[in-house]
Amino acid sequence: EVQLVESGGGLVQPGRSLKLSCAASGFTFSNYYMAWVRQAPKKGLEWVATISTSGSRTYYPDSVKGRFTISRDNAKSSLYLQMNSLKSEDTATYYCARHGLTGSWYFDFWGPGTMVTVSS
């Protein structure tokens, strides 16, 4: 059974940093592109980052480019999101998600999410 479990969320002050983790199991982690998607309270979904199978390629929307860094450790079946210079608008539930088969950019499995609150 595919499982994705996020951790590392919490309350952080504006301008500070936070690192999220996602532990994957039930599938061959190194074979899949992975992603982070967020959802502000009572709002819609926003794609945050994607990383290739080897970690050599990463992709971000303009809203987080230069502030967030996605990475992975295939030996540990783990995905990470380093978030720097956090803003109040980054407050959201952050989901770890698996992309579909190579070349498919939908998200076929999602974790339960971890909440990040940016506030002074």
Q: Which of 9, 46, 67, 84 binds another protein (CB under 8 A)?
A: 46
Residues 6+ apart with CB under 8 A from 36: 20, 22, 47, 48, 49, 68, 70, 79, 81, 94, 95, 96, 97
The piece of 7-15, 16-24, 40-48, 67-75 that touches another protein (CB under 8 A) is: 40-48
Q: How far apart, in whole angstroms, are the C-alpha atoms of residue 72 and residue 78?
A: 6
Q: Which of 9, 23, 27, 47 binds another protein (CB under 8 A)?
A: 47
Chain positions 48 to 67 lying near another protein, rule: CB under 8 A, are 50, 59-62
β-sheet bridge partners, residue 59 = 50
- DSSP assigned state of 26: S
Q: Which of 18, 24, 113, 118 binds another protein (CB under 8 A)?
A: 113
Instruction: Kindly determine how many residues on this chain lie close enough to bind another protein according to the rule CB under 8 A.
Output: 21
